[in-house]
């Protein structure tokens, strides 16, 4: 394996980990959808997978179902560097 491929593999393994760490910093999280909605009544509540830095919308497969996660406001999730799941809205 040449060095370029090795560096690409290392980057693919490390970058998502740093994204998840950044996403969990200063992100107001809530145990229920209702609590999150009270925090941001004019925003969309999403389920944030805090391990991956990806959030899911209500009605999608992983909403409220990942091992590591919490309900958050979409604007807060975006501000923390999270991104929506590829198969969401």
Residue ranges covered by each domain of the chain: 27-80
Sign of CA dihedral 43, 54, 68, 27: negative
The predicted structure's pLDDT at residue 23: 47
Instruction: Specify the pTM.
Output: 0.72
Element (H, E) at 35: helix 33-39
Residue 84 neighbours by CB under 8 Å, 6+ apart: 46, 54, 55, 56, 57
State pLDDT tens for residues 9-67. Answer: 555 555 454 445 444 568 999 999 999 999 999 999 999 999 999 999 999 999 999 99
Q: Of 51, 50, 61, which Cα lies nearest the Cα of 86?
A: 61
- Specify the pLDDT at position 8: 57
Query: What pLDDT does residue 57 have?
Result: 98
pLDDT for 25 equals: 66
């Amino acid at each position: 394996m040449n060095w370029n491929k090795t560096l690409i593999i290392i980057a693919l393994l490390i970058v998502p980990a740093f994204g998840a760490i950044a996403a969990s910093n200063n992100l107001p999280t809530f145990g229920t959808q209702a609590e999150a909605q009270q925090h941001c009544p004019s925003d969309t509540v999403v389920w944030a997978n805090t391990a991956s830095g990806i959030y899911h919308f209500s009605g999608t497969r992983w909403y409220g179902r990942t091992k590591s996660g919490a309900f958050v406001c979409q604007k807060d999730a975006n501000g923390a560097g999270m991104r929506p799941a590829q198969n969401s809205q």
